[in-house]
């Protein structure tokens, strides 16, 4: 049951305690770690001393840091229409404003370089009731981030997020067409596109240029009235078997990174992520 694509996870989906998370991930056969929240703090707020401990724990267990799952552009775009309140705003221990973005960007790049992460994940501002009116502002911000990333030899990974202005593959493809930048790529999340109302696979996925997909988030859900019900990976509404086969056929060589979201049986997140992790490994093995 050797995966045909490398598997990883956002560590806090297993536990906010990094050592506990990494041990559980290693038991599944994961070798990549995506950092978002450690010890209850967003990764961008962890001190330099804390980051040294993070690196020690990762190195001791043989993990590669594959992405800094930052909260960049998870804020309100000034002058934009009112925010669409149908979608939950997950902030993961990091509630920041538009004015905080330059400082957060600098910190994200510093941490990525320190930990050897090639990708800094970003968003597209909280989704408004007229997301199309925010398009130019989103593209401008992404262009600036990509230019900065180019100087640091990093990749900006735009995640399609149902609570943000770029939520579907269709919207993502429009950004890529507008901004053909070598340091701007996609963190493709089929479940987020599905929550946003798109048939994520195959319809949505086929709108994307596979060469510009840097990273894939793996989670699964059903949806009722824009509200996702998260569940065991590979058992819900996303055709993950088809999606993984298509990625392989298209020459994708990045990671499948588990972002469980399911609270787990009886609210046991560690158990839930462990179940999903083994399911991910099985599906990735074909």
CB 11 within 8 A of CB 42: no
Of 193, 246, 247, 188, the closest CA to residue 221 belongs to: 193
Between CA 83 and CA 164 the distance in angstroms is 9
Which backbone phi and psi does 177 adopt, to 5 degrees? -65, -35
Q: CB atoms < 10 A from the CB of 208, how many?
A: 18
State residue 133's pLDDT score. 98
SS3 250: coil
pLDDT score at 89: 81
Name 187's bridge partners. 159, 215
pLDDT at 34: 98
Written as six digits, the tokens of 45 are 């707020």
Domains delineated in the chain: 6-285 (3.20.20.150)
pTM for this model (two decimals): 0.97
Q: Whole-angstrom Cα distance, residue 22 to residue 32?
A: 9
Task: Measure the CA–CA gap between 100 and 224, rounded to whole angstroms.
Answer: 34
Give dist(CA 149, CA 44) in Å, integer: 16
CB distance 267 to 228 below 8 Å:
no
β-strands 227-230, 221-224: how paired?
antiparallel
Per-residue tens of pLDDT for the chain, all 286 residues:
799 999 999 999 999 999 999 999 999 999 999 999 999 999 999 999 999 999 999 999 999 999 999 999 999 999 999 999 888 787 666 678 999 999 999 999 999 999 999 999 999 999 999 999 999 999 999 999 999 999 999 999 999 999 999 999 999 999 999 999 999 999 999 999 999 999 999 999 999 999 999 999 999 999 987 789 999 999 999 999 999 999 999 999 999 999 999 999 999 999 999 999 999 999 999 8
Residue 140's pLDDT is 98
Is the distance from CB of 242 to CB of 283 less than 8 angstroms?
A: no
Distances from the Cα of 229 to the Cα of 120, 165, 224, angstroms: 27, 21, 8
């Amino acid at each position: 049951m050797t995966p045909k694509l490398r598997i990883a996870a956002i560590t806090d989906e297993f536990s906010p305690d990094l050592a506990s998370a990494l041990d559980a991930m290693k038991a599944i056969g994961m070798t990549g770690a995506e950092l978002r929240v450690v010890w209850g703090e967003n990764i961008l707020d962890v001190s330099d001393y804390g980051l040294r401990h993070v690196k020690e724990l990762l190195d001791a267990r043989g993990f590669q840091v594959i992405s800094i799952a930052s909260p960049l552009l998870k804020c309100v775009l000034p002058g934009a229409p009112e925010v669409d309140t149908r979608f939950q705003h997950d902030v993961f221990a990091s509630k920041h404003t538009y004015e905080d973005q330059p400082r957060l960007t600098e910190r994200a790049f510093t941490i990525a370089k320190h930990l050897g992460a090639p990708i800094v994940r970003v968003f597209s501002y909280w989704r408004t009731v007229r997301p199309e009116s925010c398009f130019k502002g989103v593209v401008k911000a992404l262009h600036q981030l990509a230019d900065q990333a180019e100087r640091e030899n990093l990749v900006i990974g735009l995640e399609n997020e149902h609570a943000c202005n770029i939520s579907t593959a269709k919207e993502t493809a429009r950004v890529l067409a507008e901004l053909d930048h070598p340091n701007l790529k996609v963190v493709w999340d089929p479940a987020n596109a599905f929550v946003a109302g798109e048939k994520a696979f195959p319809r949505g996925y086929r709108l994307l240029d596979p060469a510009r997909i840097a990273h894939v988030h793996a989670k699964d859900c059903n949806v009722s009235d824009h509200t996702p019900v998260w569940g065991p990976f590979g058992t819900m509404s996303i055709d993950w078997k088809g999606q993984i086969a298509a990625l392989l056929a298209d020459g994708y060589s990045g990671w499948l990174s588990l972002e469980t979201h399911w609270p787990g049986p009886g609210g046991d997140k560690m158990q839930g992520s462990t179940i999903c992790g083994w399911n991910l490994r099985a599906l990735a093995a074909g």
